[in-house]
Amino acid sequence: MFTFYKNSQKGQDLVEYALMLAIIIGIGWGIYSQTGVADSIKNVFGNASSLMETAKKNTGTFDMKPVLDRIKEIQTGYPGHGYGIDYGRGLIQSGWLTNGDEEDSTIGKLGATMWTFYNGENKGKPGLESGVLYWTTEDLDSVTLKKDANDKGSGWSKETVLSYRYDKKNGYSVIENRVWLNQPGSDGKNHNGLAQLPYEYGKPKGNVLGSYSTYEEAQEAYKKAKADHEGQYIY
């Protein structure tokens, strides 16, 4: 549904320029010092490798702020589409939106197939989080999940689902959590929806597997966690 945009080319161009300059300087120094051109070139490429690794870490890092700003903008003016789901409820899910909002290009950079944002504006529910985004890049909506036997009517899953979480304090996290079942969408169909990490309407508290300063680090951790469960994100 969404498209994840590739990293900027600017950092790569800088690395290539630095590499070319380093080779020229290295060859010149080898001739001048008579230590051998071959050794100088070898040292240059060794240093260049380190330079490229550093550049790789420092360029193209995903920026969450535009995504959160856009979600807040959508949520503030959201009419609810007959479900009573508005800014004052305190949360919004992608499944509740019209196609135009759901496929928004700014939010699409996240690479999410489904997301839930808690804005903390529901004064009647002080336990809801504020400024926290949950999302999955899996096809969660196509999976049939079972209702937990301990659920007394709220509708949370028996299964644990691997997903992402973001808040300003902790950054990007990989979490294990239950999900909400049968969330009504603007398309008139029911959808699975990501719940907040803490206890909510009887749903057990989720588990944080790790928190990271960049989305890229979280993605690697997600892959490892999924591999640890034999390639499954639901268990």
Q: Between these two residues, 6 and 44, which has the higher pLDDT value?
A: 44
Residue 233, domain member (yes or no): no
Residue 204, domain member (yes or no): yes
Report the domain count for the chain. 2
Average pLDDT over residues 98-113: 83
Residue 4, domain member (yes or no): no
> Are residues 173 and 74 part of one domain?
yes
Residue 1, domain member (yes or no): no
> Are residues 69 and 53 part of one domain?
no
pLDDT tens-digit series, residues 159-211: 999 999 999 999 999 999 999 998 888 888 889 999 999 998 889 999 999 99
Q: Between these two residues, 118 and 188, which has the higher pLDDT value?
A: 118
Position 56 scores a pLDDT of: 47
What are the contacts of 8-15 at 24+ separation with CB within 8 A? 8/59, 8/60, 10/59, 11/55, 11/56, 11/58, 11/59, 11/60, 12/55, 12/59, 14/55, 14/59, 15/51, 15/52, 15/55
Contacts of residue 208, defined as CB under 8 A and 6 or more positions apart, other chains included, come to 165, 170, 173, 174, 175, 197
Q: Is the dihedral of CA 18, 19, 23, 24 positive or negative?
A: negative
Residue 104, domain member (yes or no): yes
Of the three residues 42, 58, 74, the one that is the final residue of a domain is: 58
Residue 221, domain member (yes or no): yes
The answer, yes or no, to whether residue 102 has pLDDT greater than 60, is: yes
> Are residues 34 and 103 part of one domain?
no
> Are residues 79 and 161 part of one domain?
yes
Position 125 scores a pLDDT of: 84
> HEC states along the chain?
CCCCCCCCCHHHHHHHHHHHHHHHHHHHHHHHHCCCHHHHHHHHHHHHHHHHHHHHHHCCCCCCHHHHHHHHHHHHCCCCCCCCCCHHHCEEEHHHCCHHHHCCHHHHCCCCCEEEEEECCCCCCCCCCEEEEEEECCCHHHCCCCECCCCCCCCEECCCEEEEEEECCCEEEEEEECEEEEEECCCCCEEEEECCCCCECCECCCEEEEEECCHHHHHHHHHHHHHHCCCCCEC
Position 151 scores a pLDDT of: 85
List residues bridging with 135 in a β-sheet.
Answer: 115, 164
Structure tokens at 212: 């990271």
Residue 34 lies in domain: 10-58
> Are residues 158 and 90 part of one domain?
yes
> Are residues 89 and 205 part of one domain?
yes
pTM over 0.75: no
> Are residues 182 and 85 part of one domain?
yes
> Are residues 73 and 128 part of one domain?
yes
Packing angle of the helix pair 10-33, 37-58 (nearest 10 deg): 160
Assess contact for 84 and 110: CB atoms under 8 A: no
The answer, yes or no, to whether residue 155 has pLDDT greater than 80, is: yes
Residue 92, domain member (yes or no): yes
> Are residues 159 and 47 part of one domain?
no
> Are residues 15 and 43 part of one domain?
yes
> Are residues 91 and 47 part of one domain?
no
Residue 5, domain member (yes or no): no
Assess contact for 234 and 194: CB atoms under 8 A: no
143: left (phi over 0), alpha (psi -120 to 50) or beta: beta
> Are residues 161 and 83 part of one domain?
yes
